[in-house]
Structure 1
Amino acid sequence: MMNRNDFDANGGSHTTGSTRRAFLFTTAGVLGAVALWSARLPGVASAHDRRGDGPATVTIVNFGADGKPTGKAVVPHVVKPDADWQKQLSPISFDVTRNAGTERPYSGDTWDLHARGIFRCVCCDNALFSSETKFESGTGWPSFWQPIAKENVVETTDRSLGMARTEISCRECDAHLGHVFDDGPRPTGLRYCMNSAAMHFVKLA
């Protein structure tokens, strides 16, 4: 196959038919390369990457009913077909966690929750956030200044809206949770802006 450089350098010496064929081959190659490059952009491919191309096991920190850590554990990486997730989850939870959707602000059931407890993944029950780090951000989504354990979440670059954001997902099952921003309160200065639909709340014993 001729590349663009060969065509530019030698086009004058080919017949018209040869030149036309070279142009078509070159154009197809360039378009194919662009498509492949676009598909691999962070954020563009992330929804598909969450569907199973991961490790067989992951390491998380477990937490007891009293909210205290009980130690690290190696657990299976939870992967299911969409049909199984749809049976398990509500439509909004499926859209948020499996398709990286976003619930409407002030529509979730935990954005203004003030009880003491742990926010766990709605898909796999992994501990994600503690009420001790929750704060009122005024955004209409539950917000925290840090996760309950850094091992329990994953940060990736999301470019889906034409901007670079840091996406937060569940380490155990890859569920999309929300994004983290650098406009939060002390001591971290971070705002983990999560979706209520991605978590369920468990009160401390």
Structure 2
Amino acid sequence: RGIALHTVAEGLTDEMHIGLKGTMNALFLKDLAEKTRRGQRGRIEKGRSGGGLAYGYDLSNDDEGSAGGRCINEQQAMIIRRIFASFAEGETPNAIAAALNREAIHGPGGRAWGATTIRGHPARGTGILNNALYRGELVWNRQHFIKDPVTGKRQVRLNPETEWVIKEVPHLRIIDEPLWQAVKDRQREVERRHGRVRDGVRKS
């Protein structure tokens, strides 16, 4: 014997109604996600923050007086320059992190430094050594997420560079171009000698 389903808002509800509501909710969420992405893209194109606050910066109002601007935190910028210079000169992320921790210098979020925080993932633009903002570039849409149909977990997929949105923000540059390129050269050399760094976890 079937059981009738009543809701406070809509009264008697049948299977067709439930299916229709599910479809409408899915379309609403898709539309909301697209609007959110358009909003994020618009903020990036205006040189504003599209997400979290990276190490090395403080929040501020932009030139129009709107929230979402950033300015350089000079104390943290000194640490970033030190990390880049040390890596370019041949130190490993492990050694750099150990030195900073010995000196009681806090990392992002006030946490201790780890090699992964420094090394990150070059292709994804994660980690101190790969943050394009330090060279004065805001990069958005570098990657997207998909849901694994088996595990239900999100997985990262890189987007083609042609789909990236890049905005020059020279007032936020912390690392000069020669030092940035020196770090990229060493990363390529490490990859050539030891193989690709996967997810930023291999010790270099």
TM over 0.5: no
Q: Which has the higher helix share?
A: 2
Higher normalized strand content (fraction of residues): 1
Q: Which has the higher contact order (CA 8 A, sep 6+)?
A: 1
TM-score by length of 2: 0.25
Q: TM-score, normalised by structure 1?
A: 0.25
